[in-house]
Amino acid sequence: MSRKIRIPARTIMTPGPVEVYPSVLRVMGTPILGQFDPMFLKVMDEVKEMIKVPFQTKNEEAFAIDGTSRSGLEAALIALIEPGDKVLIPAYGRFAYLLGEIAERAKADVIYIEKEWDSVFEPKVVIDAIKKHQPKIIAMVHGETANGQMQPLKEIGEFCRENDLFFVVDTVATYGGAEIKVDEWQIDVAIAGSQKCVSVPAGLSLITYNERVKKVLASRYQKELGLSKDIRNKRHISSNYLDLSQLERYWNQERINHHTEATSMIYALHEGLSLLLDEGIENSYQRHKINDQAIVAGIKSMGLELYGDMTTKMPTVTPILIPEGIDGESVRSMLLEEFGIEIASSFGPLQNKVWRIGNMGYSSRKENVLHVLGALEAVLIFHGANVSPGKAVQEALNVYLTSK
């Protein structure tokens, strides 16, 4: 067995994980500290504050969970759900069903409202379903990577707050790349990940929640046996590892010994968020938007069709219909093997029907966009597809030159 890792150069244009900033890669090489070393606690405190910025929140609580994005989704849902609680899941793509899956496993009574994946919900449809089903929790996805659609949340959030319901939102695919207003949209818990627009390797989930959720957590807190047998709670959260009521007390001044923090990943997150804040969150949105316009212009001019409603398209993902008669996986393989470019396929009903080009974080760069457009055109010509040659890169260049 060869024991040396040999990693080829890749242009990663999937909806996550994406290319990592060089300085993030470098900072992971910094020696570790013990998780209660005062110098490490300082890093954690800084990370807490920085996490809040892309969420646009004044919440006291914001921290990272040592697990990939879905660990945060599960932590959020099991913190609020008690067996039998009604949870409403408006589903317009794959990851809504993940929220449902987690809620079902937490023994919630889950109600789905379903639709075609090509567009989002009219807020009124969701509000009517809430009125009808009277759930305790509404869990939605802000941006669905599977189909590239982005749900307007403000009206729904307002209705939930007025009616004292909990509004849980998966912002994994938009955090840092598109506007999220946790406070203004009245989101109770929002969850993101490290591996998309923050350009940090996968392995951390980011979470923020407000006082309403803090109150629930306080009422369900159970200290761990072995640290103390005193604080038992019949309504304790079902998981120990993903117990937000303990995690909160690890990240705040109480500093309970819950787990051994993933120091190197926290360094990486610190640097990734620093870069995002130094760029300016509005500038980051603008960069994602222009690169998205260039991708869309290029793809269209090639003669390919996009999937889904363009008025609610996420700036961070572009779903493309695979042309009739073309083997989608063969195109992806050739892109990877000959050009070193990775684009994504999709899931569920969109599997083998749609390719997805990601436009996230450090991967969201002009040179990457131009490279993927030129390469995709060449690979499609090679596969005998009917595309208009020479146009895609020109159209994208045009977007960049006129946006200056």
Q: Is 94 in the site for its own copies (CB under 8 A)?
A: yes
Question: Which residue from 60, 82, 101, 309 is in contact with its own copies, where contact means CB under 8 A?
Answer: 101
- Contact segment (CB under 8 A) with its own copies among 93-101, 155-163, 372-380, 385-393 equals 93-101
Q: Smallest distance, Å, CB 403 to its own copies? A: 28
User: Least distance from C-beta 18 to its own copies, angstroms?
Assistant: 8
Residue among 29 and 325 whose Cβ is closer to its own copies: 29
Please report whether residue 39 would count as binding its own copies according to CB under 8 A: yes
Token pair 């802000």 is found at 142
Residue 170 pairs in a beta bridge with 141, 191
The residues near 155 (Cβ < 8 Å, ≥ 6 apart) are 123, 124, 127
Query: φ, ψ for residue 228 (rounded to 5)?
Result: -170, 145
DSSP letter at 344 equals B
Q: Is 301 helix (H, G, I), strand (E, B) or coil?
A: helix
Minimum distance from CB of 371 to its own copies (Å)?
16
Please give the span between the terminal C-alpha atoms of the chain, in angstroms, as a whole number. Answer: 52
In the block, tokens 């809040």 appear at: 52
Segment interacting with its own copies (CB under 8 A) among 91-99, 182-190, 283-291, 313-321: 91-99
The two three-digit tokens of residue 153, written as one number: 């949340």
d(CA 132, CA 148): 28
Site string for its own copies, 154-183 (x = CB under 8 A): ------------------------------
Q: How many residues in the shown chain lie near its own copies by CB under 8 A? A: 89
20 is an interface residue for its own copies by CB under 8 A = yes
Q: Among residues 53, 204, 212, which one has the least CA distance to residue 137?
A: 212
Interaction mask 273-312, its own copies, x per CB under 8 A:
-x--xx----------------------------------
- Least distance (Å) from its own copies to the CB of residue 154? 25
Which residue lies nearer to its own copies by CB, 238 or 398?
238
Let me know the angle formed at the C-alpha of 130 by 127 and 135, rounded to the nearest 5 degrees.
Answer: 150
Q: Which is nearer to its own copies, 94 or 142 (CB)?
A: 94
- Write each residue from 106 to 145 as x if it is in contact with its own copies (CB under 8 A), else as -, in one continuous string: x---------------------------------------
Touching its own copies, residues 238-257 (CB under 8 A)? 238-242, 257
By CB under 8 A, tell whether 397 contacts its own copies: no
Place of tokens 């009574």: 109
Q: Out of 348, 384, 389, 390, point to the residue binding its own copies (CB under 8 A).
A: 348
The β-bridge relationship of strands 143-144 and 137-141 is: unpaired
CB of 188 vs its own copies, minimal distance in Å? 21
Q: Is 8 in the site for its own copies (CB under 8 A)?
A: yes
Task: Say whether residue 7 binds its own copies (CB under 8 A).
Answer: yes
Characterise 4 by phi-psi region: left (phi > 0), alpha (psi -120 to 50), beta (else). beta
Nearer to its own copies, 43 or 397 (CB): 43
Q: Which of 56, 60, 86, 105 binds its own copies (CB under 8 A)?
A: 105
Binding of residue 5 to its own copies (CB under 8 A): yes
Is 356 annotated for ligand binding? yes
Phi, psi of 190 (to 5 degrees): -125, 145
Structure tokens at 349: 């009903």
Residues 6+ apart with CB under 8 A from 262: 66, 203, 204
Torsion-angle region of 384 (φ positive above 0: left; ψ -120 to 50: alpha; else: beta): left
| Residue window 255-274: x/- pattern of binding to its own copies, with contact defined by CB under 8 A | --x-xxxxxxx-xx-xx--x
**φ and ψ of 164, to 5 deg:** 60, 35
C-alpha to C-alpha distance for 206 and 194, rounded to whole angstroms:
7
Residue 71 and residue 172: Cα distance in Å, rounded?
12
Does 201 bind its own copies (CB under 8 A)? Our answer is yes
Smallest gap from residue 268 Cβ to its own copies (A): 8
Q: Name the one residue in this structure whose structure tokens are 């075609």.
A: 116
| Binding-site annotation, residues | 356
| Binding-site annotation, residues for substrate | 356
